[in-house]
Structure 1
Amino acid sequence: MSFTTLRTISRHSVNIYLGLILLSLACLGLQFPPFSELSAWQLTSIEQGQWWRILTGNFTHTNFAHLGMNLAGLWVIVFLFMPSIKSLFFALIMLSLSVGISIFFTEMTLYVGLSGVLHGLFAYFALLEWLNGRRSSLWLVLGVIAKVAWEQWFGASMMTAELIQARVATEAHLAGTLGGLTLGLIQFLLIKKRRNLSRGAD
Structure 2
Amino acid sequence: MALIALLALGGEPWINALRYDRVAIAGGEWWRLLTGNLVHLPGNTIVWEGFRFHGPWHLFLNELGVLVLVLLCPERLSAAVWARRVILLGLGMSAGLYFYAPDLRWYVGLSGVMHGLFLLGLMPQALKKDIVALGCILYLLGKLGYELYAGAPVSDEHAIGGKVALDSHLWGAISGLVYGLVFRSFWKPERWAFWR
Give the TM-score category using the shorter length.
0.7 to 0.9
Larger relative contact order (Cα-Cα within 8 Å, sequence gap ≥ 6): 2
Distance (whole Å) between structure 1 residues aligned to residue 146 and residue 186 of structure 2: 32
The DSSP-based 3-state class of the residue aligned with 2:164 is coil
* TM-score (norm: length of structure 2): 0.78
The one of 58, 61, 84 aligned to 1:69: 61
The DSSP-based 3-state class of the residue aligned with 2:36 is helix
Q: Give the length in aligned residue pairs.
A: 170
- Residue 45 of structure 1: how far off its partner (Å): 0.8
Query: Map of 1:29-68 to 2, 5 A cutoff?
Result: 29=9, 31-63=10-42, 64-68=56-60
2:130 maps to 1:135: yes
- Whose strand proportion is higher, 1 or 2? 2
Q: Is the 8 A contact 1:41 1:53 kept in 2?
A: yes
Q: Provide closer, same or farther for how the CA distance between residues 33 and 41 of structure 1 changes in structure 2, counting only shifts above 3 A.
A: same
What letter matches 2:162 in structure 1? A
* TM-score (norm: length of structure 1): 0.76
- Residue 165 of structure 1: how far off its partner (Å): 1.9
User: Which residue number corresponds to residue 174 of structure 2?
Assistant: 178
CA-atom RMSD in angstroms: 2.0
Q: Provide closer, same or farther for how the CA distance between residues 130 and 86 of structure 1 changes in structure 2, counting only shifts above 3 A.
A: farther
The one of 95, 119, 137 aligned to 2:115: 119
Q: Which runs of 4+ in 1 moved over 4 A?
A: 189-192
**Structure 1, unaligned stretches of length 5 or more?**
1-19, 193-202
What letter matches 1:119 in structure 2? H
Q: Provide closer, same or farther for how the CA distance between residues 146 and 27 of structure 1 changes in structure 2, counting only shifts above 3 A.
A: farther
- Residue 33 of structure 1: how far off its partner (Å): 4.7
- Whose helix proportion is higher, 1 or 2? 1
The structure with the largest alpha-carbon Rg is: 1
What letter matches 1:147 in structure 2? K
- Residue 161 of structure 1: how far off its partner (Å): 0.4
Deviations 1:47-87 (A, max 9, x none): 11111001000111112111111111112212321331333
- Residue 190 of structure 1: how far off its partner (Å): 9.4
Deviations 1:163-196 (A, max 9, x none): 112111111111111111221233227977xxxx
Q: Is the 8 A contact 2:21 2:105 kept in 1?
A: yes
2:60 maps to 1:81: no
- Residue 42 of structure 1: how far off its partner (Å): 0.6
Distance (whole Å) between structure 2 residues aligned to residue 36 and residue 170 of structure 1: 20
**Structure 2, unaligned stretches of length 5 or more?**
43-55, 189-196
